[in-house]
Amino acid sequence: MKIAMIGTGYVGLVSGVCFSDFGHDVVCVDKMATKIAQLDRGEVPIYEPGLDAVMARNVAAGRLRFSTDLASAVDGADAVFIAVGTPTRRGDGHADLTYVMEAAAEIARALTGYAVVVTKSTVPVGTNRKVAQVIRATRPDAEFDVASNPEFLREGAAIDDFMKPDRVVVGVESERAKGVMGDIYRPLFLRDFPIVYTDLESAEMIKYAANAFLATKISFINEIAALCERVGADVKSVAKGMGLDGRIGNKFLHAGPGYGGSCFPKDTSALARIGQEHGVPQRITETVITVNDLTKRRMIDKVLDLCGGSVNGKTVAVLGVTFKPETDDMRDAPSLTVVPALVGGGARVRVVDPHGKREGEALLPGVSWETDPYVAADGAECLLILTEWNEFRALDLKRIAAAMITPNLADLRNIYDKADVTAAGFTGYVGVGR
């Protein structure tokens, strides 16, 4: 199959590279010439484990190319995927579809024969029909179908998620479009990975409902964690006891400083807005958003309490600022709430993150960047763990405690047990829900 992938952001690049690894002929298109030049040099503009090797393999095989020429990529394509950004619109919380509709109009002008125009971006319910309207208005003679094919990629595990998915969701309205999408995903079908065919609206809703439900689990366990702290329970034990129930499961029941990233904040906000527009308020999702914001702010109070009520003039070493490990993504990360509050409170903040500096330098002014946790902790009054990178899971706590002026640990990911922290020489410790 010949595929054009419009957009080389996280979703577009990962999807395009993986489709080429299925054996399809893929052209990834982006308006940013500098990004295309970077990709042509074999440089991956995002950090995603394993993506560089898969990309290089398929470029070498001649199945994967990068271009700024949308018309050339669309010419003769069996499917054209729209994978452009849908950022949260300022003022109303809705997904901004400007880039999606601009892409649809450009695709319409470039179509030279039948193609399925597939929306890969996360979009509100009804968007695919609007895409169809734009294409028809731009090119009344165009022969096409639209399809909805939401992505379910976890940053840090995207290659495996694409190659070994829990499910592939495809919203289509014609047998012809279903046939094209079936041919594209045939390698997965042959390996018995489930492909769910449904209507356009249901496919669009599945994405939002799935992410809102996962975000709900996170906010729920963070509320339980706050209660555990008051009643003397341990949230890790509570979560383990809950998770063993097959109806609940243990995933997304890890208490911490709140969720962030490219999906959950944006998608919960959009779902809440969709509900309001249709007169069906999504009360649970709205509360999930509120709880997540409060959770992030509660982390600031934890650090302040650990430091005697103030961080003014004190040195705080922060380990991890990306929203999760194995990514360089800083979007809506808890660090963007916690770290500026510490800097604003007069703290000298030293940051260590394996891949966070590229985005973090602009987003976290007033901090200094270190590459070694031991250097960052030397002479500090507080060590703060915000992201559970593997590099931070087996630190020499005795060495760190001995180097600190005041050995305090705010373990906001519950990596370490209090007994081990105390035995290592720390005099102050705080976790989440413990």
Q: Token pair for residue 19?
A: 């489709």
Within 10 Å of residue 421's Cβ, how many Cβ atoms?
23
Residue 119 in contact with residue 85, Cβ under 8 Å?
Answer: no
Report how far apart the first and last C-alpha atoms of the chain are (Å, whole number).
54
Q: Token pair for residue 63?
A: 């199945």
Helix (H) or strand (E) segment spanning residue 11: helix 10-21
- CA 418, chain centre distance (Å): 30
CA distance 432 to 310: 20
CA distance 37 to 213: 39
Q: Please compute, for residue 416, the number of CA atoms within 13 A of its CA located in the half-sphere on the CB side.
A: 26
Length of the chain: 434
Closest C-alpha to 325, from 254, 429, 239, 250: 254
Residue 118 in contact with residue 81, Cβ under 8 Å?
Answer: yes
What 3-state class would DSSP assign to 32?
coil
Instruction: Say which residue the tokens 């960052």 belong to.
Output: 376
The one-character DSSP state at 430 is E
Residue 4 in contact with residue 74, Cβ under 8 Å?
Answer: yes
Catalytic residues: 263
Cα-based distances in Å from 404 to 76, 301, 315, 379: 64, 21, 10, 5
Following DSSP, what letter does each residue of 123-166 receive, concatenated? --TTHHHHHHHHHHHH-TT--EEEEE----PPTTSHHHHHHS-S
Q: Token pair for residue 434?
A: 């413990």
